[in-house]
């Protein structure tokens, strides 16, 4: 079955180029130049991944990402302006899973899309041989249903946040480096520039869990090594 990719970018030359590369990889593409049409598509079509530009004529990509997260948990990749670090952090905080800075190489974007789809399918696939309910001190993750509860209250996690938390829970008591997290989630070689991505996701996880960086109850930072959840 072909994966359906949503592209939203008000620059036709960029949107058309991404569409061409995706179709050459046998993806089905839903392409729009504004958020209004994209929202209509989201409500009527099955989408497997979205690529959103930050700057759109009628609604910025952050707001569109927020609307998607109200309904769906599929991966979202943001396209940001060159050097706009604030845009990257904002996108990740609002639920995006990855970002690329313009200008970018189309083949690199295709590789990121494939990596996100692999990760999403891996962590949403049911497996009878793998433990599907992960628990730790009031924290409960159901891998099959992609639900997370903390002290019986639901946590609204993005796919990447859920993946990070499930990895740390499975490897409870063990330090997991940013490199390991990146490789296991995206299935790609780790690049140092991606370290900020992991950091932002960890920070947002702590915020949602009401956890403290200085005195963590759940996710502990081990300086120079990575992150862990204590036994």
Report pLDDT digits (tens) over 49-67.
999 999 999 999 989 998 9
Say whether 222 sits in a helix, a strand or coil.
Answer: strand
CA–CA gap between residue 173 and residue 167 (Å, rounded): 11
Say whether 138 sits in a helix, a strand or coil.
Answer: coil
For the whole model, what pTM was predicted? 0.64
Give the phi and the psi of residue 216 in degrees, each rounded to 5: -70, 140
Q: What are the tokens at 185?
A: 């989630």
Cα-based distances in Å from 197 to 144, 179, 191, 214: 25, 11, 11, 20
Q: What is the pLDDT of residue 127?
A: 45
Q: What is the pLDDT of residue 190?
A: 57
Element (H, E) at 4: strand 4-8
CA–CA gap between residue 136 and residue 96 (Å, rounded): 26
Q: What is the pLDDT of residue 136?
A: 86
Q: What are the tokens at 181?
A: 């997290």
Q: What is the pLDDT of residue 9?
A: 96
Q: What is the pLDDT of residue 186?
A: 74
Residue 29: CB atoms within 10 Å = 18
Say whether 14 sits in a helix, a strand or coil.
Answer: helix
SS3 content of the chain, % helix, strand, coil (to 5): 45, 20, 35
Q: Which residues, given as ranges, of the chain have pLDDT below 50?
A: 126-130, 193-194
Cα-based distances in Å from 196 to 24, 138, 140, 164: 31, 28, 27, 14
CA–CA gap between residue 86 and residue 127 (Å, rounded): 38
Q: What is the pLDDT of residue 125?
A: 57
Task: Show Cβ contacts of residue 124 under 8 Å, excluding neighbours closer than 6 positions.
Answer: 146, 159
47 preceded by a cis bond (ω within 30 of 0) = no
Q: What is the pLDDT of residue 128?
A: 43
């Amino acid at each position: 079955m072909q994966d359906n990719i949503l592209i939203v970018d008000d620059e036709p030359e960029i949107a058309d180029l991404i569409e061409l590369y995706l179709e050459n990889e046998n993806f089905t593409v839903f392409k729009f130049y504004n958020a209004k049409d994209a929202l209509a598509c989201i409500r009527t079509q099955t989408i497997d991944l979205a690529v959103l530009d930050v700057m759109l004529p009628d609604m910025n990509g952050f707001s569109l990402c927020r609307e998607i997260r109200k309904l769906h948990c599929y991966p979202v990749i943001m396209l940001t302006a060159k050097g706009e670090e604030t845009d990257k952090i904002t996108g990740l905080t609002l639920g995006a899973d990855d970002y690329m800075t313009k200008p970018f190489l189309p083949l690199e974007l295709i590789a990121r899309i494939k990596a996100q789809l692999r990760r999403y399918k891996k962590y949403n696939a049911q497996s009878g041989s793998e433990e599907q309910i992960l628990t730790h001190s009031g924290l409960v993750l159901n891998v099959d249903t992609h639900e997370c509860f903390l002290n019986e209250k639901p946590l609204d996690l993005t796919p990447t946040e859920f993946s990070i938390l499930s990895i740390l829970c499975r490897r409870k008591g063990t330090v997991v480096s940013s490199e390991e997290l990146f490789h296991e989630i995206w299935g790609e070689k780790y690049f140092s520039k991606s370290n900020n991505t992991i950091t932002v996701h960890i920070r947002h996880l702590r915020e949602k869990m009401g956890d403290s960086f200085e005195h963590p109850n759940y996710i502990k930072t081990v300086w120079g090594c990575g992150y862990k959840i204590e036994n």
